[in-house]
Amino acid sequence: MQMKTVVVPCRFCDHECPMEVSTDAGGFPRKLRPLRAKEGFWCPTGMNALEILHHPQRLRQPMKRAGEKGEGKWQPVGWEEALEAMAARFSAALQEHGAESLLTIGGFNKPFSALMQGRFSNVLGIVNRAAAGNMCHFARSQSAVDTFGFPVKNQARPETKTIFLWGYHPRSTLRWDDCSLQTALKNGTKLVLVDPRAGRYGAQASIWLALRPGADLALALGMLRVIFENGWQDKELLSRHAAGLETLLAQIEPYTLQYTAALTGLAPAQIEEATRLLACEKPGIIWAGNALDHNTDGYQKGQAIAALLAVTGKIDVVGGALPPPLADGKNPFTTRALTLAERFTPAMKARRLGASGAVHPAFSGVSGQAVVASLLEGGPLKAAYVAGGNPAVMWADPEATAQALKKLDFMVVADYFLTPTAQLADLVLPVASYLETESVAVAPDGSVHYSPRLSGPPWAKSDMEILNSLANAMGYQAAFWPDMEAFWDEFLLPYGITLAELKKVGSLPAGQAVQKPGPRQLRETGFPTKDGKLHLALTLEALQNETPPEPLPGQGWPYLCTCHKDASFFHSAGRQVPAQRKKQPGPVAFLGEELAHTLGLLEGDWVRVSTEEGWAEQQVKLEKGMAGGTIALASGWWYPEEGLGPLVQTANVNRLSSRHKKQGHSIPAFSCRGLPCQIEKIPPKTICTREATR
């Protein structure tokens, strides 16, 4: 068979990795090869596009609900009818109940899909937009922006002497970071691991701080105190630029080594030595992950980490945390312009759910907790458009989330499969994967590439196309495009080329040179914060009476549970895909050998982990040196094979999390790291992966 190859960007997440696709004589994709494989890069999610293409459980046509919500009875409908129904229901909600009655739900940023969702919301005036940011990275990145003016990008340079992996496990999650980390380690960079479990880095770390889950704020404050006690701070930098230093010093005062050790479960000498590495072996960087975002005090944790970087002079230094370039030549058309972001005015933002209170002004979305609370209380929401998210699995308290979503008059879900969220919909739409969509890709070097639609299932449409058609059907032609070719023509305007012309030539070389991040002499000019200062005081007072900063096991809940992501799955997706389930057939909870011994548990046993909120059942894998009294469950689990409906998610770790008790201050996240829990052995479960996936 004569094969041809073509390079297309994977669009399952916002990294848009180039994939080499081999197509047969009919142009049908047969083989995938990630072009970054040479660097040791591998991603099961990107690779599953081929299996999705042929999967028997793939959504194959729009379907409307035929029975009760969640009953599993569907009636196939054509695209025309689906679009008409959507346009009618959304228009009716708008007219009868106003823009506050509409809701969009997206998940982790899917390129272009999120863009069109943003434009759709901005044109219609939708104020309630739930995406994943508040439970993903927002606390971490915004706290750095507020402290020294820009978010931290993980970059290892030959100059980098130390890297802290702090609640971040890129070998499973963001593998290109792991590739660069491995290169750095080979070149002598030292690794400090801050994680209750060793994962894939325990053996590579010079120091492993196996802290109690949830105790990151205490650790960071304790380390700050060690720094000032030893005079390791960058005195010159602080004397010129620090704001709020006195407050910070008062805030860290209680966190003596002994107190910090007691709160974190770490040895004082270990904390001291890790702090010395951070402060004295420079330049260096802290690569922080989801463990910092997934608590009510995620913003304060981010502030403390940002303060650690700032006081040790790691900002704007080659080998440390560099600011992004002032101009980004990657795409002359900014997302802001394409989404018509200026239409989302402060007055509109003020009308969204949960806007009052202590929400950070930079956070303009709504949290899942606010959506669920409002729906259960009979609030204004009537109709929802869901694309790229699976809230009935990924939000806190899946049961309440499902009950809440059922209360909507009308919910549309665009997905590949009938997920627990889609099962609750009134209308489901089959979405096209990156292999099945014609698009344009702008590479990091600024070059522009045509990405063909490889013969995929004709029934599937891209998110962009669906929303563009919906907006047209609702009468918003003026702010949208007659078809997708017209959209791409507009996207390509700054390049002086049309889609049809790009299709002929394939690619445009990099135009404007893309700037690399580099030092900007901020020590001289001041930092890109509103007043040029380094803002070191933490907004700790905001936490008072809300959340204890460090969860401690209590009566009836003697242990602590936390979670992590499986290397083989992207959140809740992929559980139907044989190759992925083969790698990871079921949900694995890591348990320290000591605790396993205390509980009489062996590798492979099944356990039920309970918190005040609920329980989840997973299979034990023993892990050496894990933080005392801790179990780390896998997130995102449901069994498509069980067909039991959306309410039965026995393995879902989010059953353990509260949706209302701990809203999170500043950035509304829910806590899923460091919850007091109980662990008990249960009879073994059989996971029928073969039936599941065939």
Ligand X SMILES: Nc1nc2c(c(=O)[nH]1)N[C@H]1C(S)=C(S)[C@@H](COP(=O)(O)OP(=O)(O)OC[C@H]3O[C@@H](n4cnc5c(=O)[nH]c(N)nc54)[C@H](O)[C@@H]3O)O[C@H]1N2
Which of 165, 533, 142, 534 has the alpha carbon at shortest distance from 302? 142
Q: Which of 8, 12, 154, 388 binds ligand SF4 (CB under 6 A)?
A: 12
**SS3 call for 415:** strand
Residues in contact with 125: Cβ distance below 8 Å, sequence separation at least 6, in sequence order: 99, 343, 348
Question: What are the CA-CA distances from residue 185 to residues 157, 173, 208, 525, 528 (Å)?
Answer: 11, 18, 15, 33, 31
255 binds ligand X (CB under 6 A): no
Least Å from the CB of residue 10 to ligand SF4: 3
Least Å from the CB of residue 201 to ligand X: 8
Pattern 84-123, binding to ligand SF4, x per CB under 6 A? ----------------------------------------
Q: Which residue number, 141 or 451, has a Cβ lying nearer to Mo ion?
A: 141
Residues pairing with 160 in the sheet: none
10 binds ligand SF4 (CB under 6 A): yes
Q: What is the largest CA-CA distance in the chain?
A: 72
Residue type, 235: K
Pattern 206-235, binding to ligand X, x per CB under 6 A? -----x-xx-x-------------------
174 binds Mo ion (CB under 5 A): no
641 close to 654: Cβ distance less than 8 angstroms: no
Q: How many CB atoms lie within 10 A of CB 678?
A: 17
Pattern 131-160, binding to Mo ion, x per CB under 5 A? -----x------------------------
User: What is the Cα–Cα distance from 53 to 436, expressed in whole angstroms?
Assistant: 9
Q: How many CB atoms lie within 10 A of CB 368?
A: 27
User: What is the Cα–Cα distance from 562 to 590, expressed in whole angstroms?
Assistant: 10
Q: Which of 635, 650, 658, 666 binds ligand X (CB under 6 A)?
A: 635
Least Å from the CB of residue 508 to ligand X: 25
Chain-centre distance of CA 195, in angstroms?
18
552-570 core/surface letters (b: 16 or more CB in 10 A; e: else): ebeeebebbbbbbbbbbbb
Chain-centre distance of CA 103, in angstroms?
20
Q: How many CB atoms lie within 10 A of CB 625?
A: 13
50 binds ligand SF4 (CB under 6 A): no
Q: What is the total count of residues that contact ligand SF4 (CB under 6 A)?
A: 10
Which of 502, 628, 115, 167 has the alpha carbon at shortest distance from 340? 115
Pattern 4-43, binding to ligand X, x per CB under 6 A? --------x-------------------------------
633 close to 589: Cβ distance less than 8 angstroms: yes
Q: What are phi and psi of 21, to 5 degrees?
A: -110, 125
Least Å from the CB of residue 406 to ligand SF4: 31
Least Å from the CB of residue 35 to ligand SF4: 10
Least Å from the CB of residue 287 to ligand SF4: 17
662 close to 397: Cβ distance less than 8 angstroms: no
Q: How many CB atoms lie within 10 A of CB 29?
A: 20
Residue owning tokens 């995929």? 456
Options 57-65, 248-256, 333-341, 415-423: segment touching ligand X (CB under 6 A): 415-423
Q: Which residue number, 29 or 389, has a Cβ lying nearer to ligand X?
A: 389
Q: Which of 8, 29, 45, 199 binds ligand SF4 (CB under 6 A)?
A: 45
Q: Which one of Mo ion, ligand X, ligand SF4, none interacts with residue 46, CB within 5 to 8 A by kind? A: ligand SF4
Tokens read off for 372? 């669920």
17 binds ligand SF4 (CB under 6 A): yes
Q: Which of 21, 126, 184, 194 binds ligand X (CB under 6 A)?
A: 194
Q: What are phi and psi of 340, to 5 degrees?
A: 55, 45
Options 40-48, 210-218, 410-418, 501-509: segment touching ligand SF4 (CB under 6 A): 40-48
Tokens read off for 36? 């970054």
Options 132-140, 220-228, 243-251, 538-546: segment touching ligand X (CB under 6 A): 132-140
Q: Which residue number, 19 or 193, has a Cβ lying nearer to ligand SF4?
A: 19
92 binds Mo ion (CB under 5 A): no
149 binds ligand X (CB under 6 A): no
| Gap between the terminal Cα atoms of the chain | 27
Sign of CA dihedral 198, 203, 204, 209: positive
Alpha helices in 281-345 (DSSP H): 298-311, 335-339
Options 82-90, 129-137, 139-147, 680-688: segment touching ligand X (CB under 6 A): 129-137
Binding site for ligand X (CB under 6 A): 12, 107-108, 110, 113, 132, 135-137, 166-170, 172-174, 194-197, 199, 211, 213-214, 216, 289-291, 387-391, 394, 414-417, 419, 431, 463, 562-565, 567, 569-573, 632, 635-636, 653-654, 672-674
Binding site for ligand SF4 (CB under 6 A): 10, 12-13, 15-17, 34, 43, 45-46
Binding site for Mo ion (CB under 5 A): 108, 136
